[in-house]
Structure 1
């Protein structure tokens, strides 16, 4: 038996998609990690199962590249929305459920506008900001993002004495290009490497920039894989709502996986 899969990417953050509405996908950490392996498998930053969910168009179940079930993935959310549209589950707008709760999204061509969870309880320090935008994110500012040793510095923070015992964190390095315009590089936990783009990370960086620079929505963010935009409303002293991650999500190819783990 073969398992059909579909490869999607959102600004270079790539995912294996599986239509699992029949709940037949053989979930195991080893099997998923083998699929995501870039030398011996399909190659991806994560794998997403699309499942049925009562009261919603679908459920998003996200697994990191290491095979473990992950927290919310913003670019993965945009890609699964495009996947669901390609499957004919909706026309222009959708509501779906993910690990962090309900999301709404709309699609216009290859541009997906995904509503993210509200953000509160931001931690602000002199050298960095920390917040949860569906996944935990450490945000620090640098003069030249191209010169940063993202993997080594990122892994030190991810596994360090502060965040390591709490399950680790994603780590973002931000360079201010001009007003309302950032460049970001991200070390992602679960992938344990730099990715071409991180949607929840980009979101965290935009909200951090608002707090530090006083910028108004929307904010444009450059990643290795392309450009994204984050729109938001400031709703309290420390909180944000109506947060939207906006950018392209594109089908790359499709194929079949050998069933079994």
Structure 2
């Protein structure tokens, strides 16, 4: 951790950040261990604006942890908080690996302490934990008779992965108009904390195609927790094995539902480092 004079200098000059992505799901990462913790709902929204800020699918804030290598916060681009983010988790694993030299690591999120592993060549595997398959854990607004067939057109599946998901199995995920159907489904009354919405079609017993509308109001190229939720839904419906490839707009993720949790494996890419200027910070 930097000393007080370094922190003061950083506060005066601006706020450093790192831009990373996992399969095109992009993140601004702020290390609050070595810079002032300035993140607010308003600042998260401002940074997330792709014209007036930097732009991101999620903002990631790093802090010191007493129980893991890092403590991590996730923010959506609308300024709301998220409990989990799979693609960002691989990026965090890469940062820890580069910082410590570890091949096995852990970090604490609002949802749980997650275990991660470096497989080399910027490929990382993260144990996203076991899925939540009870209505009050997902959470839903109240008891539902059949979580595999929610009382909605298309009979979607409800799954929790530290954040809520609504998974539709369709004939052709490519033909779904996400911009039209996504917002209403995200805000459906059945989900009091809103929800991520996934549309999948089955390629074979070992692969599915997925497109996603993420909570926070956006279409993203990939969603790691969504890929895990989709794999759970597809397997529980008897359509796939427990270990599958999920083909997203940004590329493939390997999902393996094991006894100790759902392991998600894919790339993590560092794009650039930058500094949010004092002018920008003062304007929020």
What's the TM-score once normalised by structure 2's chain length? 0.84
CA distance, structure 2, for counterparts of residue 34 and residue 6 of structure 1 = 16
CA RMSD for the aligned pairs? Answer: 1.6
Q: Paired residue for 1:99?
A: 110
Residue 183 (str. 1) matches residue 194 (str. 2): no
The answer to whether structure 1 residue 125 and structure 2 residue 149 are counterparts is yes
Shift of 1:90: 4.0
Residue 245 of structure 2 corresponds to residue 245 of structure 1: no
2:199 is matched with 173
Partner of 2:6: none
Cα displacement string for residues 40-69 of structure 1 (whole angstroms, at most 9, x for unaligned residues): 111110110111101311111111111222
Deviation at 1:180, TM superposition (A): 1.2
Q: Return the TM-score normalized by structure 1.
A: 0.91
The answer to whether the aligner puts 1:158 opposite 2:186 as a matched pair is yes
CA shift for structure 1 position 71: 1.6
Match of 2:273 among 244, 249, 254: 254
Q: 1:145 to 1:215 in 2, by over 3 A?
A: closer
> Residues of 2 paired with 1:40 and 1:210: CA distance?
42
**1:65 aligned to 2:77?**
yes
Asked if 1 retains the 8 angstrom alpha-carbon contact of 2:205 and 2:241, the reply is no
> What residue ranges of structure 1 are gaps of 5+ in the alignment?
236-240
Kept in 2, the 8 Å contact 1:30–1:67? The answer is yes
Task: Tell me which structure has the larger Cα radius of gyration.
Answer: 2
In the alignment, the residues of structure 1 paired with residue 203 and residue 274 of structure 2 have an alpha-carbon distance, to the nearest angstrom, of 40
Indicate the structure with greater strand content. Answer: 1
SS of the residue 1:35 aligns to = helix
Aligned partner of 2:245 among 220, 230, 239: 220
Aligned length: 251
In 1: Cα distance, 2:35 partner to 2:164 partner: 29
Unaligned runs of 5+ in 2: 1-12, 135-146
